[in-house]
Structure 1
Amino acid sequence: MSSIKKLAGQTIWYGAPRIFARFLNFGVSLLGFQLFDPNGSYPYTQVYAVIPFLNILFTYGLETSYFRFAQTHDRKKLYNTLTVSMLVSSLLLTGVLFLLKDPLTSFMGMDDHPQYITWMIWIIFFDTLYTLPLSKLRLEERPRKYAFVNVFSILLNIALVLFFFYVARPAYEKDPDSFFAWFYDPAVGIGYFLLANLIASGVTLLLLYREFASFRFDFDKKLWKEVMYYSYPLIIVGFGGQINELLSRVVYQRVLDVGEKQEQFELGVFGANYKLAVLITIFIQVFRLAAEPFFFNQSKSEGAQRSYARVMKFFVIACCFMFLVVVLFLDLWKGLIASKYPEYAQGIYIVPILAMGSIFLGIYYNLSIWYKLTNRNMFGAYITISGAIITIVLNIILIPKFHYMGAAWATFICYAFMMVASYIQGQKYYPVPYAKKKLITYIVICALIYIIHEVIVRNINSAARFYIPIYYISAAVLFGLFLLLILKVERKELQRLPFLGKWLYRAA
């Protein structure tokens, strides 16, 4: 259990600032839905569906490779080699994107705002350059600076967004010739979110200047080839979490014949509701930050597989609680995106589907350690490619008839397939004694709890005076029942955890 405590500590140190940053970033995105209707927010959701996809292409698995090879190679030489590789490739890929800027602008439907694409490219460039310096902080166990950089970056991003929309815009509306009005142009619109992100990304790189500039042009060609052989399948693997959000939008624009304005409106609604499922994705991303180095460090210790199984169990339990928080209190979350523009609420029913799909994706990420530890990364690539094919086919079939509901089910089915495929292959090459039946039971119970909640509250007129009390009482009671179930079934395991275990022991 000491390994679990170590992971918990790493998750707190490296995860807490990232959780804080992610939630603040989540809040910023919700602000966009308060300021702009679905058609106005369309460019924002499009660009931020593409950025993670291109980030993976620009980093091509080097972050994971850095942790993997740092266990067996000279860390300084490894850092120098990978930094040189990433710097050169980033310059080349950025140049290619600028050469293809016009067709890319048209492909993304941004002909009215080509500057959005320019800012997007520079965001990706800066984000790529500080990837390895941040990883270096994690590997060297320097959590304070890691936390400072992450939190400062997002706070700067938020401050700039608030300045543009709550200082500069009112100044412009009051007097276009005033000093602060100079910082606002109505034609830019939601693009100020991108501009704020760009400035914050550039400042983040400056904050990591010492780490970035510490590399030397000491390029080990043999080591680089070894790393690339390991990492190139991770490019495809990395797309696993992005293929649905990106491909669903691409297919949406190609198979739905409803007119450009209606298409953009629906994609704006889809993007806003997709954001609510991000609450689970945030936890998954933060967990991965701590888990990946932990998995590699634990790989040679005795009982590594048992540790991985325990980690998976606690991970799934945490995801189940996150799922229930999202779906049982859906009316609360709906208010965050639809209080000003009620049109966003039209797609709220896809959130539970996307949320459960996010759990499947998180489990897939946990399972994926088997091919990273056994150097069988191509299996991960095959699974991701298969998932992409499933996504495209299902979106082509389902979107014309069911619109964004079809896109949501395509996401759900794709991630379910990737999870199952990774589990089956993993048990062949790197068996881990996962508590499969128990974890499936927990997930099914969560789904049933949501259904029971819906049956209770949807048979009541939402305009009735007692609707809101019944809604939240039902949600709280059902959430409490699941909590009691976990406390009872996992009592022995939980008692061995710090803080929570002591509380349970005293309560016994």
Structure 2
Amino acid sequence: MSIKKLAGQTLWYGVPRIFSRFLSFGISLLGFQLFDPNGSYAFTQIYAVIPFLNILFTYGLETSYFRFAQDHDRQKLFNTLNVSVIISTILFTALLYLFEKPITGFIGMDRHPEFVTWMIWIVFFDTLYTIPMARLRQEERPRKYAFINMFAVVLNVAIVLFFFYVAKPAREADPYTFLGQLYRPEIGIGYFIIANVVSSAVCLLLLYKEFTAFRFEFDKKLWKDVMKYSYPLIIVGLGGMINEMLSRLVYQKVSTASVTQREFELGVFGANYKLAVLITIFIQIFRMAAEPFFFNQSRHEGAQRMYARVMKFFVIACCFMFLIISLFLETWKGLIASKHPEYAQGIHIVPILSMGSIFLGIYYNLSVWYKLTNRNMTGAYITIAGAVITIVLNIWWIPEYKYTGAAWATFTCYAFMMIISYVLGQKHYKIPYPKKKLIAYLVIVTLMYILHEAIARSLDHNASYYKIIYYGTSLLFFGLFTLLIMKVERKELRRMPYIGKFFGKASA
């Protein structure tokens, strides 16, 4: 195993994932274009709940599959975990339907209870294909994995475009035609959720070969061993989702504004939160490639040095993405506020959330120490502590600072988790991370953003020269950071696959 291997896996699994996520991001932006903040709050609420349910329904089995596939019969493991997932998914789904009304009231969806029903179906289908998709990754079958991901998203987009750009105009022209009857104005942004239900269901059909290989075989001892390893990961996952989604989920519960104003603020917050998507996407695709890589690498000599190198390049990549987001906010603002200018008033929280996402990504890198040393419960304690910080700060700051307070709560939580994980990790599984260098990179890009923002605010935004100076300084700062990395990391860049040839030859 090597950096080249990890880079190759990231390309195979990452590029299709990036394509899929950008399509998803685009379709989300379309929702914010078509509906004002008061209309899009329901979309924000539903997609704040889904990650929580995904963690509960899968209870850490994906990570456990990679861990136990190293030293157990893979077919027996596949069968056992599938049996567990199928039975638990049916049980959990039944419980959700049983308590659907209280759930609807709790998340503030009384005006759209049907959205909750569709949400349950999304989670149902997504959970059932968790283990088959993990098997594709474990068996290094990226083509099919990529095809299923991209097909599902393309189908999702196609359905949304059909309803809003074919069926809706047909209804406006003549509501009694076949196409006109397909569109119901009262559903509104709910068509985005319906499209998600259909695409999730189609994923199951595309995995029919994997399901035909499944046998109803259950190894009780193996299952107990897996659950012993997995149950702390449930806490880690739930805590992580609390830290990521709680601000949006409980906004209406803690805000002192009127109902209409709260819904408006939540819509603005949700729209701007999505602008940190570049870093979020990268973290997700990195984890997709890195999780099995870390487990495999642990058996090799010099694993700690390899983890340190991976961390360095991860932070550098995140720094570039932070600059792309923070130095070009005017462009991102245009994407979400071209039709509804009110969305732009929350643009200042995007760099805060983006840097917080970097801290989260660093934490995921650091978490290798407790996964490899079977100290998953320590990871759970860190996550619980982070969740407590998130809850306290949201209750404290949202009433006073609205979504700005929610953004800073997220930032603070992830900073705490990153720091405490590093300190504990160095005690139990010491990895020679280049700490000073990584901190310097993060500080430099932050200062670049602050200086760029100060320059932009000192200018007359209506002047003809504004955009020239704004984007000129954006490109200047981005170029300066690029030159800095090329100079400081020249030796490392020579060893990298694909790009190393541009920096001269070096030994691997």
The reply to whether TM is greater than 0.5 is yes
1:274 corresponding residue in structure 2: 273
* Partner residue, 1:465: 464
Q: Alignment RMSD, CA only? A: 1.0
Residues 130, 212 of structure 1: 8 Å contact kept: no
- 1:380-408 deviation per Cα after TM superposition (whole angstroms, max 9, x unaligned): 11011101100011111111110111000
Tell me, yes or no, if the aligned pair for 2:59 and 2:234 is still in contact at 8 Å.
yes
Give yes or no for contact 2:49–2:249 (8 Å, CA) kept in 1: no
Task: Point out 4+ residue stretches in structure 1 off by more than 6 angstroms.
Answer: none
Q: For residue 423 of structure 1, what is the aligned residue in structure 2?
A: 422
**1:345 and 2:344 aligned:** yes
**How do 1:481-496 and structure 2 match up within 5 A?**
481-496=480-495
Q: Give % identity.
A: 71
Q: Does 1:4 align with 2:15?
A: no
> Aligned partners of 1:162, 1:245: CA distance in 2, in Å?
29
Q: Indicate the residue corresponding to 1:74 in structure 2.
A: 73
Equivalent-residue separation in structure 1 for 2:47 and 2:325 (angstroms): 22
- Counterparts of 2:33 and 2:253, CA distance in 1: 28
Alignment of 1:324-473 (within 5 A): 324-473=323-472
Please say which of residues 279-288 and 243-252 is displaced more in the overlay: 243-252
Structure 1 residue 249: Cα displacement: 2.7
Contact kept in structure 1, 2:45 and 2:249, CA below 8 Å: no
Matches within 5 A, 1:258-297: 258-297=257-296
Residue type at the aligned position of 1:487: M
Q: Are the equivalent residues in 2 in contact too, given 1:251–1:392 (CA < 8 A)?
A: no
Structure 1 gap ranges (5+): none
CA distance in 2, matches of 1:344, 1:280: 21
Question: CA-to-partner distance for each residue in 1:286-324, whole Å, 9 max, x for gaps?
Answer: 110000000001111011111100000000000000000
Question: Where in structure 2 are the equivalents of 1:74-473 lying within 5 Å?
Answer: 74-473=73-472
TM-score, normalised to structure 1's length? 0.98
Give, in whole Å, the separation in 2 of the partners of 1:239 and 1:326.
28
Q: Does 1:15 align with 2:11?
A: no
Change (3 A) 1:476 1:240: farther
Once residues 151 and 102 of structure 2 are traced to their aligned partners in structure 1, the CA distance between those partners, rounded to angstroms, is 35
One-letter amino acid matched to 1:338: A
Q: Which amino acid aligns with 2:119?
A: M
Mean CA deviation greater in 148-157 or 175-184:
175-184
Letter in 2 for 1:367: L
CA drift at 1:244: 2.9
Tell me if the contact between 2:174 and 2:180 (Cα under 8 Å) persists in the aligned partners. Answer: yes
Q: Write the distance in 2 (CA, Å) between the matches of 1:502 and 1:140.
A: 30
State how far apart, in whole Å, the 1-side matches of 2:126 and 2:211 are: 12
Cα distance in 2 between the residues matched to 1:491 and 1:384: 36
Q: Is the 8 A contact 2:356 2:412 kept in 1?
A: yes
How far off its partner does 1:240 sit?
A: 4.1
Contact 1:241 1:361 in 2 (8 A): no
Query: Matched residues in 1 for 2:253 and 2:348: separation?
Result: 24
Q: Aligned partners of 1:411, 1:158: CA distance in 2, in Å?
A: 30
Gaps of 5+ in 2: none
The amino acid across from 1:153 in the alignment is A
- The CA distance in 1 between the partners of 2:352 and 2:159, in whole Å, is 34
Structure 2 contact 57–92 (Cα < 8 Å) conserved: yes
- On the 8 A contact 1:357/1:415 being kept in 2, the answer is yes
Aligned partners of 2:44 and 2:248 also within 8 Å: no
Farther off after superposition, 105-114 or 339-348: 105-114
Shift of residue 439 of structure 1? Answer: 0.3
- Secondary structure in structure 2 of the residue aligned to 1:242: helix
- The Cα of 1:254 is off from its aligned counterpart by 2.0
> How far off its partner does 1:245 sit?
3.7
Q: How many residues align?
A: 505
Give the Å deviation of 1:181: 1.3
User: Does the 8 Å CA contact 1:328/1:475 hold for their aligned counterparts?
Assistant: yes
Q: Secondary structure at the match of 2:450?
A: helix
CA displacement, residues 430-488 of structure 1 (integer Å, 9 cap, x when unaligned): 11110111001000001000011011111001111100111000000000000000000
SS of 1:403's partner is helix
Whole-angstrom CA distance in 1 between matches of 2:28 and 2:366? 30
Normalised to the residue count of structure 2, the TM-score between the two structures is: 0.98
Instruction: Decide whether the 8 Å contact of 2:494 with 2:504 is kept in 1.
Output: yes
Instruction: Tell me how far 1:53 sits from its aligned partner.
Output: 1.4
What's 2:477 paired with? 478
